[in-house]
Structure 1
Amino acid sequence: MAKDGLESVAGVRARLARPVRRVMSWVLAGANGGPADEPADATTGNWVVDCAVYVDGRRRPGRPDPLRALATARGCRGFVWLGLHEPSAADFAPVARAFGLDELVAGHALNADHRPAVERYDQVTVMVLRTSRYVDHPELTETSEVVETGAVTVFVGPRFVITVRHGAPGALSPVRADLEARPALLAAGPWAVAHAVCDRLVGSYAKVAAAVEADVDAVEEQVFSRHTHGQIAHIYQLKRELMEFKRAVAPLQRPLGELIEDRDVLPRPMSRYFRDLSGNLARIVERVTALDELLNSTLQARLTQVSIDQNNDMRKIAAWAAILAVQTFVAGVYGMNFSYIPGLDSRYGFPVAMLVMLLLGAVMYRGFRRNKWL
């Protein structure tokens, strides 16, 4: 009985200790700059890819809680890089409050269909970027997926950078590894991360453009080959995939140029990096535009070929109809019920009529062949 009593007292103490620890964690979170109304483990889901604090280009040991990382970065005069993958509205809400993002700014992280853009909200710059990936396919068909796209939203603040990725393309783990291997560049702060993300995406654009160009060349070779039997549907499918890729690449050119010209937003040491990036993007946009025009010309050429083939078929049908019409005319004349038709009572009337029909058909066939109707 005494033993049971001691166990019950221990259980009561344990139950009372849980809410006390929870309240203390909330109070400590508020003291460290995090939201006092959220528990410390609110962002331990698998949608948090990585979170790190960087000081002078070096990553501090450990993985801080995303809700407290900003306070830690401010205390050591560094910045925090938080990487997220497809968070829900409920998941991102405490992060937005912890980093001071209002509802309008946070909305960019939850929508994967935004047009590429660069927008400024007070001290936070939001970069909406489109990711892309070439999908290998053994043969181009009318249902082939050639380009897969996604989205990355980058929030750049004075002491933080948040990357939110939607879709399979555009994994940013290699970007983080490359930057951590270059501490001198990473010491430039959050804009170094923003440039690295943009640079990786523009590099993927170049690879996708090269792969799509190979598909366009294959389609062009097929269309202009001597024996063309391909369908038009697969050319339309490649056109649709190229248009999706173009919508991901081309709209970024203008806002990126405006960002470079805005000296109040972009730090001067990073300007030359973004200018080089803008030049690379411009070349890719020109390449994609040229591919689009080439594919349009190829499609028009194939449609013209189909039209010519149809005209050739109609000429063949008309030629054979003319040849058969002559035979029908002769047979119709001698099939009339008149008594006085020349040669009707002749012994050689039928053979002569058949010979005339064959000669007329042969002459017409030769004439149509000479004029390339048959």
Structure 2
Amino acid sequence: MFVVEYAVCTGGELRREVGGLADALDRLRSLPDESSFVWIGLVEPSPSDMHELAEEVGLPPLAVAASLRPHQRTRYQLYDRILFVLLKTLQYDDPTSKVETGQLTLFLGERFLVTVRQGAGDPFPEVWANVSAHPGLLRHGAKSLAYAVGGAVADGYNEVSDELATDIAQLEERIFAPGRTNAVDAIYALKREVLEGREAVQPLEVEAREFLSGTLPLTAEAREPYFREVANRVLRAAATIRTSEELLNSILDAHLGQISTWQNEDMRKISAWAAIAAAPTTIAGIYGMNFDHMPELHWSIGYPLVLGVMAAICYGLFRAFRRNGWL
């Protein structure tokens, strides 16, 4: 379903307004001064609506095409005076313990910010709360709102990575609790969810490190402490996800070792009981051959004596296997 939201920033104050795409474009054309800008937010737009907007504000065609296709890889590129940024959004679903992914595309111009959202993950409630709590946040124009959006996306990464870390801790407790459990399927399912997070965060990790080291070509305004904090949030999420991957690999190795140990224990028990059963079976087989010359067959105590020997051998084997930990 195609949804249009827009807001106008004048004098450092962002006001959300009601209307459609045409109204948003009219407001963009009638901005009062150079410090004002318009945010236009599209949710799953149609190609025709997206191309109409692209022609009006001069969005690059290749970037527009990428914004309409879901499941794209995180990337950014500067087209003349428009910065194109494509991010993956993450959302944790509590009932299913699944990580849902979406896509957020940003087109940043001098006097506008266009965002195109596909799939799960909506960072804008946090963006509006952040803007309301920090009135001076938008003093650098549309780029400030773009960084606020990036910060909200990074917070989503951290929320998901923390939830996954909690799931891993619970799974670890379950695996190492007393008793036997086969959690291989659960481990691989959780590895799949961690991989979803890694695919979203990992491409941003290099850029975040370059940002903090000062090697990215950014303006002085872009190096405000708030923007550096966004990069730190990305690095924190990346570190948490990396730790989760390593821990899951260790848990899987340990659990496979557990299963191997349990199988060995079962084989020892089976072998021990088979040996115990073999002793009376062998004796019974010997006396079942019905030879003519077996004197003990005619003894009055022959039958109870053989039963006693069987019982003694079985008991001796049982004690021996029990003492050695096989039973």
Q: Same fold (TM over 0.5)?
A: yes
The answer to whether the Cα contact below 8 Å between 1:185 and 1:192 also exists between their aligned partners in 2 is yes
Contact persistence 1:150–1:166 (CA under 8 A): yes
3-state DSSP of counterpart to 1:338: coil
Distance in 2 separating the partners of 1:238 and 1:221: 15
* Deviation of 1:104 (Å): 0.3
Q: Does 1:194 align with 2:150?
A: no
Number of the residue aligned with 1:21: none
The DSSP-based 3-state class of the residue aligned with 2:296 is coil
Percent identity reads 37
Provide, for residues 236-279 of structure 1, a one-character-per-residue CA deviation record: whole Å limited to 9, x for no partner. Answer: 21121111112112221123445675665x33112233332212
What residue in structure 2 maps to residue 242 of structure 1? 194
Contact 1:56/1:186 (<8 A) preserved: no
Residues 249 and 285 in structure 1, CA contact (< 8 A), matched pair in contact too: yes
Structure 1 279/179 Cα, relative in aligned 2: closer, same or farther at 3 Å? same
Distance 1:62 1:136 in 2: 33
* Equivalent residue for 1:136, pick from 80, 94, 101: 94
- Residue 83 of structure 1 is aligned with which of 37, 41, 45? 41
- Residues 222 and 230 of structure 1 are in contact (CA less than 8 Å); yes or no, is this contact kept in structure 2? no
Q: Distance in 1 between matches of 2:176 and 2:206?
A: 37
Shift of residue 189 of structure 1?
A: 1.1
2:12 alignment partner, one of 51, 57, 63: 57
Structure 2: which amino acid aligns with 1:279? N
**Of the two, which has the highest radius of gyration?**
1
Pairs within 5 Å for 1:264-303: 264=217, 266-272=218-224, 273-303=226-256
> For residues 268 and 200 of structure 2, what CA distance do their matches in structure 1 show?
47
Residue of structure 2 aligned with 1:233, choices 182, 185, 204? 185
Residue number among 20, 29, 47 corresponding to 2:3 in the alignment: 47
Aligned partner letter, 2:74: P
> Do structure 1's residue 172 and structure 2's residue 130 form an aligned pair?
no
Shift of 1:55: 2.8
1:173 is displaced (CA, Å) by: 3.9
Q: What is the CA-CA distance between 1:219 and the residue it aligns to?
A: 0.8
8 Å CA contact 2:2, 2:46 repeated in 1: no
User: What RMSD, in angstroms, separates the aligned Cα atoms of the two structures?
Assistant: 2.2
Q: Distance in 2 between matches of 1:104 and 1:328?
A: 81
User: Which structure 2 residue ranges, 5 or more long, are not aligned?
Assistant: none
Alpha-carbon distance between aligned partners in 2 of 1:271 and 1:210, rounded to the nearest angstrom? 27
Q: Work out the CA distance in 1 between the residues paired with 2:295 and 2:256.
A: 54
Going from structure 1 to structure 2, the CA distance change for 1:68 and 1:328 (only over 3 Å counts) comes to same
Q: Is the 8 A contact 2:2 2:44 kept in 1?
A: no
Give distance in 2, aligned partners of 1:247 and 1:132.
Answer: 10
Secondary structure of the residue that 2:73 maps to in structure 1?
A: coil
Residues 155 and 287 of structure 1: is their aligned pair in 2 closer, same or farther, counting only changes over 3 Å? same
- 2:279 corresponding residue in structure 1: 326
In structure 2, the residue matched to 1:127 is 85
Query: Partners of 1:331 and 1:47 in 2: how far apart?
Result: 85
Q: Rate the CA distance shift 1:342–1:251 in 2: closer, same or farther, 3 A.
A: farther
SS at match of 2:30: helix
Of the three residues 257, 264, 276, the one matched with 1:311 is 264
May I ask how many residue pairs the two structures share in their alignment?
A: 321
Superimposed CA distance per residue, residues 333-369 of structure 1 (whole angstroms, 9 cap, x where no aligned partner): 1111311124122222221111111111110011110
CA distances 1:272-313 after superposition (whole Å, capped 9, x unpaired): 333322122112211111111112211221221111111111
1:360 and 2:313 matched: yes
1:321–1:263 distance in 2 versus 1, CA, 3 Å: closer
Amino acid corresponding to residue 170 of structure 2 in structure 1: A
Other structure's SS at 1:344 match: helix
SS at match of 1:65: helix
Offset of residue 202 of structure 1:
1.2
- Tell me whether 109-118 or 192-201 shows the greater mean CA deviation: 109-118
Change (3 A) 1:199 1:338: same
Q: Is the 8 A contact 2:123 2:149 kept in 1?
A: no
Where do 5+ consecutive residues of structure 1 fail to align?
1-44, 138-143
Q: Is the 8 A contact 2:106 2:146 kept in 1?
A: yes
Shift in alpha-carbon separation, 1:222–1:61, aligned structure 2, 3 A: closer
Give runs of aligned pairs for residues 105-120 of structure 1, distance below 5 A: 105-120=63-78
- SS at 2:83 equivalent: strand
Q: What is the DSSP-based 3-state SS (H/G/I as helix, E as strand, rest coil) of the residue aligned with 2:261? A: helix
Q: Normalising by structure 1, report the TM-score.
A: 0.79
The alpha carbon displacement at 1:234 in A equals 1.8
Partners in 1 of 2:206 and 2:130 — Cα distance? 27
SS at match of 1:53: strand
The DSSP-based 3-state class of the residue aligned with 1:54 is strand
Q: Is the 8 A contact 1:67 1:94 kept in 2?
A: no
Match of 1:94 in 2: 52
Q: CA deviation at 1:93?
A: 1.1
Alignment TM-score, normalising by the size of structure 2: 0.90
